[in-house]
Structure 1
Amino acid sequence: SQAEHAALHANYIRLKQAAAAQPGLIAQQELDDAQSKDLSSEAQVDAAKAALAAAQQQAAVAGADNERVSDLNAYTKVTAPLNGVVVWRYADTGALIQAGTSSDVQTLPVVKLSESDLLRLRLPVPEDAVRFIHEGGLVNVRVDAVDRTLVGKVVRFTRDVSVSTRTMETEIDVENKDLSLSPGMYANATLDLERKENVLTVPIQAVMRNQGRAMVMVVDGQNRVESRDVETGIQGSTLVEVKAGLNEGERVITGGQSNYQNGETVKPQMQPIPTSDQDAEQGEQ
């Protein structure tokens, strides 16, 4: 060891100095043995240093090899960009997968993932309702397959109306923490575009439209039929607002209007109508 070499070297120097100070005091054989041991231990220390340097170099090479293997091993793992469930596998174990590094190469994905705890509903919104759509708007989503109505939220819309369909693509996120819904199910969405209180409304089926005109068939106090133009406002799923042309309490025909003529006398059968779209939905259930 290095400590041993230091002790042997110090002993040789001491003997050498004593022999120089008092010739004949130290036997030449003893001095030669001390020098030999000093040189031998020095050679051993140098050899140990060389062996240590070689080992360190080998360790560095091994570390580089290990890092290279780790890098190569990383290429054997496919990491998903999201937490989900594999719903389709396009490749089997041992299959050769073509790299999809170029858009010119048509390659299949390895697997198809589904993030089922949050579903996205794509909804075409008619152009006359586009102005009411805003990010964060709440939407009632009805899924008949599971007999549930959930609340979704508008997260994205294109701001562009399709020329062919006159609709704007809108995306709605629906939470599905209990995983009761499955991707691909059909849903009906009801958007609360505009709300008014204390307005005159009639059932949608009471309003006839022709070349931009809106009309209703009114039954007066003498049970005579009168065709009357009206101005309509916002429309819900079952009711439509009447802004002008009709007074509260007047009776309207809600079906088969083409069977009646102006001035004709009828025997009306009164039917209760819902006072709101919500009442209509409850009545249907």
Structure 2
Amino acid sequence: LVRAKLDFDRADQLFKEKLIARQEYDSRKASFDALEAGVREAEARVSQLKAQRGQTAAQLAASQKRIAQVQAGLRRVSDVLQKHSAISPIDGVVTNLPVRVGETVVPGIQNSAASLIMTVADMSLITAEVKVDETDIVNVKLSQVADVTVDAIPGKTFKGRVIEIGNTAILRSTGLAASQSAISSQEAKDFKVVVALDSPPESIRPGLSCTAKITTATRTNAVTIPIQALTVRQKGDLEAPADGKNGNVQAAGNADPKAEKARKEEIQGVFVLEGEKAVFRKVDTGITGATDIEVTSGLKEGDEIITGSYKVIRTLRNQAKIKVDNKAPVKTES
């Protein structure tokens, strides 16, 4: 356009000086006018395109806002959908279903009863929770072998191993931890022990009652006696009465305290049959079974010991004459 304007201005000057023909002047003027009109048209198109660009930018911003709104709605619906679908974190069997269709549950509150919709048990590891008396818990160790019997599956014994030993005593009467109860500490207590079954049957279900026998120790070629044959006597009761010349007993006020304490010392032992007399013999014991106890010293294989009811053994005196009766006791109907 600038070049065309320069050509037109030169032609105009030459035409005024009558140096060129009018026809050439008109041609250059028409060429300049055409180019000027094209520039104006281009500028108009640029202005139109700028307006369209602004409109397109406004449409883009509106579309982006609509996308953000749709994404927010999608997140809300997805959150609602996730709350409607309960996904178990483990594979297992549903053992408890406290709610039914139509009931209201409260999500996200673990301590609320309304938030529990089901209980899933992991059946890949079957465990038995048993209670062990406080006098026996000191002998229980991890990985010890146990024989588990299930009440619902009679006649079968399942092998297992100890995988957990509780550290808190549980009161036998209430089932609460001893540290959380105000009951006297003299009450009997148990400890929880968890036994994992090695090969549980497919028919077993959570919550079944069971009993476990844990093998805490084993002995081979051991001398054993029935537990009911083991008794305790004071040392003074086992001593033969002294034959004093005057036949008088020493007054209690003049008794030696050390001698009296020695006489009251308790000795553990059994009564052994020697001839027709029951002779008390001190023994040392080892591990204890369900009905028998190991004797580590004081007896040898072949010794005949005296056994019977607790009352008979407790009242039996040393060197007392007895009559051997190995017949089974007859049960009397009450």
> In the alignment, residue 130 of structure 2 is paired with which amino acid?
L
Q: 3-state DSSP class of the match of 2:65?
A: helix
> In the alignment, residue 64 of structure 1 is paired with which amino acid?
A
Q: 3-state DSSP class of the match of 2:278?
A: strand
Runs of 4+ aligned residues of structure 1 deviating over 6 Å after TM superposition are none
Are residues 90 and 159 of structure 1, via their aligned partners in 2, closer, same or farther at CA, if it must alter by over 3 Å?
closer
Paired residue for 2:211? 188
2:67 to 39, 59, 69: 59
Q: Deviations over 1:85-117 (max 9, x none)?
A: 2223222223222567486x6647322333333
Q: Distance in 2 between matches of 1:20 and 1:90?
A: 95
Matched, 1:235 2:264: no
| Paired residues of 1:155 and 1:173 also in contact (CA < 8 A) | no
Paired residue for 2:79? 71
Displacement of 1:150: 1.6
Paired residue for 1:199? 222
Displacement of 1:151: 1.0
Are residues 161 and 228 of structure 1, via their aligned partners in 2, closer, same or farther at CA, if it must alter by over 3 Å?
farther
Are residues 178 and 268 of structure 1, via their aligned partners in 2, closer, same or farther at CA, if it must alter by over 3 Å?
closer
Matches within 5 A, 1:24-43: 24=29, 25-26=31-32, 27=34, 28-43=36-51
CA RMSD of aligned residues (A): 3.6
Displacement of 1:63: 1.7
1:251 to 289, 300, 304: 304
Matches within 5 A, 1:203-282: 203-205=226-228, 207-209=229-231, 215-220=269-274, 224=276, 226-231=278-283, 232-253=285-306, 258=312, 262-266=320-324
Matches within 5 A, 1:8-23: 16-17=1-2, 19-23=4-8
> In the alignment, residue 208 of structure 2 is paired with which amino acid?
M
Q: Distance in 1 between matches of 2:323 and 2:224?
A: 24
Paired residue for 1:148? 157
Q: 3-state DSSP class of the match of 1:60?
A: helix
Q: Distance in 2 between matches of 1:98 and 1:41?
A: 58
Are residues 34 and 99 of structure 1, via their aligned partners in 2, closer, same or farther at CA, if it must alter by over 3 Å?
closer
Q: Deviations over 1:149-194 (max 9, x none)?
A: 2213231312436442233233333356653322222222122223
Paired residue for 1:47? 55
Q: Distance in 1 between matches of 2:148 and 2:203?
A: 14
Segments of 5+ residues of structure 1 without an aligned counterpart are 1-15, 270-285
Q: Distance in 2 between matches of 1:217 and 1:47?
A: 114
Q: 3-state DSSP class of the match of 2:78?
A: helix
Q: Deviations over 1:188-222 (max 9, x none)?
A: 212222344443212345x24467765545344x5
> In the alignment, residue 228 of structure 1 is paired with which amino acid?
F
So what's the TM-score if we normalise by structure 2? 0.60
Q: State which drifts further: 192-201 or 121-130.
A: 192-201
Matches within 5 A, 1:86-235: 86-98=94-106, 101=109, 107=114, 109-143=116-150, 145-146=152-153, 147-160=156-169, 162=171, 163=185, 164-175=187-198, 178-205=201-228, 207-209=229-231, 215-220=269-274, 224=276, 226-231=278-283, 232-235=285-288
Larger Rg: 2
Are residues 228 and 213 of structure 1, via their aligned partners in 2, closer, same or farther at CA, if it must alter by over 3 Å?
same
